[in-house]
Structure 1
Amino acid sequence: MLKLYPAYMRLFIWRGRALYFGPSVQLAAHAYATVALHVGIYRPFRIKIANGAWQSCRCAIVPPGTPHELDFEGGVHGKLFIERDSSDFLYFKRRFAYREQALSLFQDDELVQQLCRIYESDPDKAVIENCLDDLLRCDGELNLVIDPRVQAAIDLIRSEPDYNFSKEYLADRADLSPSRFLHLFKQHTDVPYRRFRTWKRLFLAMDSLNAADNMTIAALDAGFADAPHFSHSFRETFGINPAYVFRGINRFEV
């Protein structure tokens, strides 16, 4: 049991979700390829969408592909990613007042208390997964259905994230024109194909980097051209340099 609750960095990844805790100052403009739930563990934080004004809140939901900046002013940042191509997404939409095209700012005491308990008690990953199941009300009733042509492309990206499948190749496999395939893919994932592919590659590279501590090898294994390409994509997606995250991370479990 942690007693002083210092600002530890932790990252846990499952097939349909990822949970991050850590200290955060200000994150530059960035955009995820999936829906993200931000929580100020001990106090409110500030968020700004595109060129809008800064707003203060305790909880925020940011839709996929939405550029935003964050400022936690040194506070502890709790962040839950919900993959658009998983059933977790349906439970997430049912549990929270999620607006797919707009930022949602709100207060949810149960959410804050649950994440605070996880952060402070630092349990094993299975316990954390059960806590998130309870939070999302995962009862086995909901099943995500994705067009099988899009699902086939997603499965291929997952199985070989380091391979650069072209839109023409995937469209041909789906018996669609490239433009129709890209439209259908975005319709079912909320983001363009290239952004989705980069998102999957980033998590593969993070896993490799955590295990081997070699950014060049991790970048190449995940399909990036080189370490600078990985760093640029990471900062564009998460608003921060990967070296900062992986120098300070205390627990990383996939």
Structure 2
Amino acid sequence: MHPSEAPVLLYLWDKRTFSLNLFPEPLQLSQAAAMLLVALDGDLLIRCRSDALRCRSALLPAGLELSVDSGSSRVAICYLDVFGEDHALLAPRMATRCGPLHIGLEDEAACITCFDELHRRSAEPPEVYDCLERLINPHQESPPGFVSDPRIARAIELIKTDVSCNQSIEFLAEQVGLSVPRLTQLFRQKIGVPIRRYRQWHRLFVTSVGVARGLNLTDAAMAAGFTDSAHFSHTFRTIIGMSPSAVLAHPRGIRLFAG
């Protein structure tokens, strides 16, 4: 299949999310999760703070505000695991660091070829996930020095268990045995974003999973805790950098999967 005829790919797993699309306008991102970007057809222009960088691949930590202009290139985006292990595995394998950004993935050409082939075939989700696993953690090892915090893991578990409910920070802090200031500080240190931004990001994920499983967009958004569709659309544009319709109602169609 020619790339111009291939559908958008949006595959959702609890650990990672993968999309492959051509964006009609620059993305204005306020990131809630770390991501790996790979441009398949030409350079990306990334503007972050006062820097403007051109590259084919970039590793971005959570918590940044930036713009990404893909020109006419398709872009593969992998939102990485929330605890930072994927980012820690990939960072040493990037060629250059520019402030908080890492650019130039090792074996970049092979990665581009692989993603292009997966897109042309509208590959099955397990094959895409296996490709990401081999790319991110080829040796099935933990990154040196990486330690997760069980208290933050528990706080995230509580948020995910009842996503439609705004559990207070006081409640979360009590459940994990921390003071509110310490939980707030430690959460941002370990996850890269405040608790509220992580909650918004997870609600977007849950909404997309609901759509993949047959709900209409409004019902899926309400079930995930958004007050209305306008609230969902505003949050989607703020974090993802485009309108929901640009992803979920693409003229070439979309292959949407939730695992």
Q: Given residue 155 of structure 1, which amino acid in structure 2 is its aligned partner?
A: E
Q: Report matched runs for 1:1-254 at 5 Å.
A: 2-3=1-2, 5-6=4-5, 8-50=7-49, 52=50, 54-85=52-83, 87-96=85-94, 102-106=100-104, 108-142=108-142, 145-212=147-214, 214-248=216-250, 249-254=253-258
Q: Deviations over 1:43-95 (max 9, x none)?
A: 11222114x35432211222111111121223211111112326444433454
CA distance in 1, matches of 2:76, 2:140: 26
Q: Deviations over 1:111-160 (max 9, x none)?
A: 22222222223221111112122212343332864222111111111222
Aligned-pair distance for 1:164? 0.7
Report the TM-score when normalising by structure 2: 0.87
Name the count of aligned residue pairs: 252
**RMSD between aligned alpha carbons?**
2.3
Question: 1:26 aligns to what SS in structure 2?
Answer: coil
Report the TM-score when normalising by structure 1: 0.89
| Seq. identity, % | 27
Question: 2:249 aligns to what SS in structure 1?
Answer: helix
Question: 2:200 aligns to what SS in structure 1?
Answer: helix
Question: 2:45 aligns to what SS in structure 1?
Answer: strand
Q: Given residue 134 of structure 2, which amino acid in structure 1 is its aligned partner?
A: D
Q: Given residue 151 of structure 2, which amino acid in structure 1 is its aligned partner?
A: R
CA distance in 1, matches of 2:254, 2:51: 34
Q: Displaced runs of 4+ in structure 1, greater than 6 A?
A: none
**Cα distance, 1:201–1:99 mapped onto 2, change above 3 Å:** farther
Structure 2 unaligned runs (5+)? none
Q: Between 204-213 and 221-230, report the one with greater CA deviation.
A: 204-213
Question: 1:34 aligns to what SS in structure 2?
Answer: coil
CA distance in 2, matches of 1:75, 1:119: 13
**Cα distance, 1:100–1:16 mapped onto 2, change above 3 Å:** farther
Q: Is the 8 A contact 1:82 1:89 kept in 2?
A: yes
Structure 1 unaligned runs (5+)? none
Q: Given residue 193 of structure 1, which amino acid in structure 2 is its aligned partner?
A: I
Q: Is the 8 A contact 1:18 1:80 kept in 2?
A: yes
CA distance in 2, matches of 1:60, 1:216: 33
